[in-house]
Structure 1
Amino acid sequence: MPALLLLGVRVWLVEPVTVVSDSMAPAIMQGSVVMMYKPAAAHRPPQFGDIIAFTSPQDGHTAIKRIIAVGGQQVAIRDGELFVDGLHVQEPSIDQSRIDATYFGPLPIPTGTVFVLGDNRGVSIDSRDYGPVPLSAVQGIILDSSHK
């Protein structure tokens, strides 16, 4: 019975995910194992600041990135600084010196999608490359709330 219970937890609630890139460094380092709430266990839709696991539109593998904007919002990057709906967003975990002179958008985010970026913006392949991610591709929300 305990094995069945453990299997049920993994199938429906929480699953370990191994981080295979350094796109979320330093918040989550390559090789780390993080716990992911599956959508049914999260009890809410993914929102700004959440780190999510999703099926990458680029190659079909699991990717882990931070939600920067949700459907109905507009995102832009000006000289490495993030703007959502025209308002500057402070990102204390981002090393601005590594991404200055970066420009993107503005881009409206369609309903039913999220715009994701890696914290390590200089090396991250993310929504700047493949566009907004459909909510149907979201596998879950990474557990550790200290990464917000």
Structure 2
Amino acid sequence: MKQSKLWEYTKTIGTALILALIIRTYVVQAFKIPSGSMLQTLLIGDHILVNKFIYGTKMPFSDNRILIFTKPKRGDIVVFKYPEDPSRDFIKRVIAVEGDIIESKKKIIYVNGNPINESYVQHTDNSANSMRTGTIEPRDNFGPYLVPKNKLFVMGDNRDQSYDSRYWGYVDMKEVKGKAFIIYWSWDNMKKMPRLGRIGKLIH
């Protein structure tokens, strides 16, 4: 009798673990925001959920995707493997996709020759410098660049304090993990208390 119950518990726990692994791998995954590069859209201490299947499900041991519902669009906030260190995950906003021509002039972003409306952007430095420490500085002025096939140009909403495609280049589509869609928890470490008003907030 005891062995029978133990076996039932083992099967239940095993099934739950397998389901959790499948969900985490193919459906949804939780991430924590560690830096301020996406202020004020995402705050340090926000815990978010990322939809991992909307851009297609990766086949095991392959970069090929199946069941693609949509491709990343301008304005999507995506989680991806950091190109300079694939062991780390970054989160940024898609500003241009394959085939787009992107350019920045004095902090204003142009896509295909047209300035884009970026109501989500925060600027902390009103100057628009093209030179810093004697080197070309792409923070405020760059391009025009043609975004290659299967690549994304991404930037942080905290535009003057974000290390993004302006510095290290494009994100390959195969490195995109998914689209951020909701904040399920938020913790203010300075005040040592939760930000209850942010819980359940959709990300856009």
Same fold by TM-score, threshold 0.5 exceeded?
A: yes
Displacement of 1:106 in angstroms is: 0.9
For the 8 Å contact 1:80–1:99, the answer to whether it is kept is: no
Displacement of 1:147 in angstroms is: 3.5
For the 8 Å contact 2:102–2:143, the answer to whether it is kept is: yes
Displacement of 1:99 in angstroms is: 5.5
1:77-122, Cα deviation, whole Å (9 max, x unpaired): 1111111000010111113463551211111100110000000111
Map of 1:109-124 to 2, 5 A cutoff? 109-124=147-162
The corresponding residue for 2:144 is 106
The corresponding residue for 1:125 is 163
Tell me the percent identity: 31
Q: When the two structures are superposed, what TM-score results if normalisation uses the length of structure 2?
A: 0.67
1:31-74, Cα deviation, whole Å (9 max, x unpaired): 21110111436721111100000011122210000000001001
Give distance in 1, aligned partners of 2:111 and 2:91: 21
The corresponding residue for 1:49 is 75
The corresponding residue for 2:60 is none
Structure with the greater alpha carbon radius of gyration: 2
The corresponding residue for 1:25 is 39
Give distance in 2, aligned partners of 1:33 and 1:113: 27
Q: Which has the higher contact order (CA 8 A, sep 6+)?
A: 1
Q: Which moved more, 1:17-26 or 1:34-43?
A: 34-43
The corresponding residue for 1:79 is 106
The corresponding residue for 2:95 is 68
Aligned length: 148
Question: Unaligned 5+ residue runs, structure 2?
Answer: 1-11, 58-67, 129-139, 183-200
Root mean square deviation, CA, Å: 2.0
